[in-house]
A and B are shown apart, each in its own frame.
Chain A
Amino acid sequence: MSFRSNLRIDPSNPLLTIWLAVILLISGLFGCDSVGDRFESNRIFAKRWELTESIDLREPLADSEVVLTEFFGSPDEPKWPKFLNVGEGKLVSLQNLQRAAGAFSSGEQGEHKGLFREHCVVCHGVNGNGRGPSSALLTPYPRDFRLGKIKFKSTPIGHKPTKDDLKQILHRGIAGTSMPSFSTLDPEDIEALVEYVIYLSIRGELERKLIRDAAIELDLEGGERLYDLDSKEKYPEEFADVRGRIKGWAVDLQESWFEAEDKIVDVVGPPEGFPLVGNGDDPEAIAVSVANGKKLFQGTTASCAFCHGSEAKGDGQTHNYDEWTREWTVMAGLNPKDKKSLAPMFELGALKPTNIFPRNLTMGVFHGGSSPEELYTRIVNGIEGTGMPAAPLRPANSQGLTNEEVWDLVNYLRSFLPAEEQSLVSQETKSDSCSEEDASK
């Protein structure tokens, strides 16, 4: 009785009831979180070919999943095909893949496992499609690794980045975007993550190759299959042929990653005595070089201003789309602006196309690094996937820029850096500590 009479004035009781109701309600919201048993297929890429070729790719898509699972396993249990680990050192070690894959956990020595799900999945997605949970709210969107294209690297457009390029990206992060710096991670963790990115990328590129092959080469109506395990016993030779061909593609893809090391573009240093912003040279000589850089920037040879605007504020041409978007819009014959025609793609999870904006360079923030060498690399290599072309150079191009002119441009770009970041003395000590610097090689 005494308990009851207090109910009236004891507000914690009605509150508690409401709270309990809320908890019950919400616990219904907690879904299951198993994502580890299979990689989601690239249905958007298949849709692209279905639209352009008017075919049905459901069966080949299922077939491709079978080969890919045989070669690469699942998010929880990754595999690395034995036939890839022959010859030149290892591109990817199974041990590192296992460290990066799976659900995350940590041990008594502080070692973490499941690194990719711990650090990257919210943005890049389980299969590296760049469509993790948070992706739709980010600008720019996270990278889709399955195209094998990376923006900030030491190799020219059309070539893979080196492992060091990837390490550098993870170490530095990408300022002004949601891509974090992972410099607090152990070097072994970074190595494992880099190999996992390569793994997802090779897997993703092979998948795209399979889908494309099915769409263009196979006689689907005649019943031809991309990969048919049932035929293994009935027609062993044909099956071995098919499998061999697919293995060949995987080998080629791995080869393209190995090759990157040989494709690094050398930085051809400026001539003796050339003034550089930040190394204490004669201010007047520097001012002349910067002014010259600005003129070149606005000129028609480099045509930087076409995109970046004459004052480098990023307000030139701004209606382009990057290649990760073009792949499923323009290439599928769809207009990225026409929401209605894109509906089938949105249904499969595609993110709303957004324009790629040329950088406002006057902010003095360079995503691929702000050392003279790195900016030189950016200019002579262009930026993959963004439409920014490699600048034409002499002697290869008789109308192109001379070496000194490239360095004038570098000076112009570096003149936007905040004073404390211009100094090359501190810059050097900074990049020393990163130790992965290869742009200066």
Chain B
Amino acid sequence: MSASEELAFSPTSVKAAYASGVHRLAVALTVSVFPLIWVGGLVTTYDAGMAVPDWPGTYGENMFAYQAWLFGPFDLMVEHGHRLLGSLSGLLCVGLVVAAYLRDERSWFRKWSVFVLAAVIAQGILGGVRVLLDERTAAMIHGCTGPLFFAIATATAVMSSRWWFERNRKHLSDHENESGAVGQYATGRFIALTASVLAVTSYCQLIVGAQLRHTTGAVSPNEFKGFVHLHLGLAALVFLVALVLTVSVVAASRTPKQVRRVSLLLAIMVLCQIGLGIGTWLVNYALPWAELNATLAAYTIAAKGYWESMVVTAHQATGSLIISLATVTSMRAWRSRASLGN
């Protein structure tokens, strides 16, 4: 007998299964990863990746004891801050594993929490490798797996949420009383699939974006151009998929609000992201038709300028956010479909 069936047939165990402590930790983890991604983005924007040349120590000191970062140059603050924030996420993962083993009855979830911990450790080591090897390639991989971890943390929060458990209960009650409420709140398979496709395409898009961001002198103009065109093509694809998702969610009145709301937020983020993308090109490379408009003609890019850095970093962070929102949407969509028990 499977765990879910067990849960399904004993209402008391359903209540016990939702562990608010586990969920809170998972949410805290997710919330801690977003600033981590921002600061990580700033590290790249300001080329501060090598501001601390050793790892795991900081200039020979224990990283938690190292104090100079608060008063040192901006580079150092950003890089060291990124490391400290990373440790915070790591600690939360340890807490998650402990809480899962104490409170969560689902054995797969316990295993999953161990996987999450392993993932955060791997990401930390990758960051260390990036520093020790001083390799842009390693930096790029570390930058691409960061958002992946963000998605994993988000998924953990979703899978430990009360709603996730309640879908099971609803399933139970729908079946038990056959009230006809079965069709009331459910997500169509198409929506679930579209949301999953969106998560994957936006992740591919992020990887191509990382290629552009970590361009070195070894890249030829044609390769760069190829990546730019790919990035534009994928942007169009992401936009289309997001459009299809939004339209289908709005059209399908049975979609539960937990799916509906995130997918609408997702649509807004995709629109913002397109604007930020154009902005990112503008503040890095300017537009080729400057004389169309007096403001464009007068604009001089400020290298490492405040607004320039914010736009670029926001573009990168929003990319991660989109992947995570798409993950939430697709997981909830699958869940609210699956719990119909068809």
CB closest chain-B residue, reference A11? B334
Contacts of A357 in B (CB 8 A): 291
B330 and A11: CB pair below 8 A? yes
Bound Cα distance A135, B204 (Å): 25
Provide the A29-53 mask, 1 if CB < 8 A to any CB of B, else 0: 1111111000000000000000000
The answer to whether residues A182 and B303 also contact, given A6-B106, A110-B76 and a CB cut-off of 8 A, is: yes
The answer to whether residues A9 and B302 also contact, given A2-B106, A110-B72, A133-B221 and a CB cut-off of 8 A, is: no
B302 and A184: CB pair below 8 A? yes
A35 and B216: CB pair below 8 A? yes
- Jot down 22 A-B pairs with beta carbons below 8 A, ordered by A: A4-B2, A9-B335, A15-B199, A19-B151, A23-B148, A31-B137, A32-B137, A33-B137, A106-B51, A107-B51, A108-B59, A117-B216, A117-B217, A126-B217, A136-B224, A175-B290, A176-B286, A176-B290, A178-B286, A185-B303, A351-B221, A363-B291
B224 and A133: CB pair below 8 A? yes
Provide the A1-32 mask, 1 if CB < 8 A to any CB of B, else 0: 11111101111101100110011001101111
8 A Cβ contacts from B281-329 to A: 284-286, 288-291, 294, 296-305, 327
A133 and B76: CB pair below 8 A? no
A122 within 8 A of B: yes
Bound Cα distance A119, B148 (Å): 29
CB closest chain-A residue, reference B197? A18
B302 and A175: CB pair below 8 A? no
B221 and A131: CB pair below 8 A? yes
B107 within 8 A of A: yes
Q: Which 8 A-B pairs have the closest CB atoms?
A: A110-B73, A5-B2, A176-B290, A2-B3, A136-B221, A139-B288, A180-B301, A11-B334
Residues of chain A at interface, number, CB under 8 A: 75
A396 within 8 A of B: no
Residues of A contacting B: mostly: loop
Bound Cα distance A112, B76 (Å): 12
Within the complex, what minimum Cβ distance (angstroms) separates A262 from chain B? 31
Known contacts A180-B300, A181-B303; 7 further A-B pairs (Cβ under 8 A): A12-B331, A18-B200, A19-B203, A33-B135, A107-B51, A349-B221, A351-B221
B211 within 8 A of A: yes
The answer to whether residues A22 and B296 also contact, given A35-B217, A112-B47, A138-B288 and a CB cut-off of 8 A, is: no
CB closest chain-A residue, reference B58? A108
Selecting from B32-40, B86-94, B139-147, the interface stretch reads: B139-147
CB closest chain-A residue, reference B283? A180
A26 and B144: CB pair below 8 A? yes
- Tally of A-B residue pairs with Cβ under 8 A? 213
Question: Which of B6, B106, B219, B331 is close to A11, meaning CB atoms less than 8 Å apart?
Answer: B331
Contacts of A34 in B (CB 8 A): 218
Within the complex, what minimum Cβ distance (angstroms) separates A58 from chain B? 21
Contacts of A104 in B (CB 8 A): 47, 50
B179 within 8 A of A: no
B148 and A31: CB pair below 8 A? no
CB closest chain-B residue, reference A2? B3
Contacts of B249 in A (CB 8 A): none
A125 within 8 A of B: yes
B76 and A8: CB pair below 8 A? no
8 A Cβ contacts from B180-224 to A: 192, 196, 199-200, 203-204, 207, 211, 215-224
Contacts of A265 in B (CB 8 A): none
A19 and B298: CB pair below 8 A? no
Bound Cα distance A12, B203 (Å): 14
8 A Cβ contacts from A158-202 to B: 172-185
Bound Cα distance A11, B218 (Å): 39
Within the complex, what minimum Cβ distance (angstroms) separates B17 from chain A? 12
Within the complex, what minimum Cβ distance (angstroms) separates B87 from chain A? 20
Within the complex, what minimum Cβ distance (angstroms) separates B66 from chain A? 10
A365 within 8 A of B: yes
The answer to whether residues A106 and B47 also contact, given A181-B301, A181-B302 and a CB cut-off of 8 A, is: yes
Most chain-B CB neighbours within 10 Å: which of A108, A357, A363? A108
Question: Which of B6, B296, B302 is close to A176, meaning CB atoms less than 8 Å apart?
Answer: B296
Contacts of A175 in B (CB 8 A): 290, 297-300
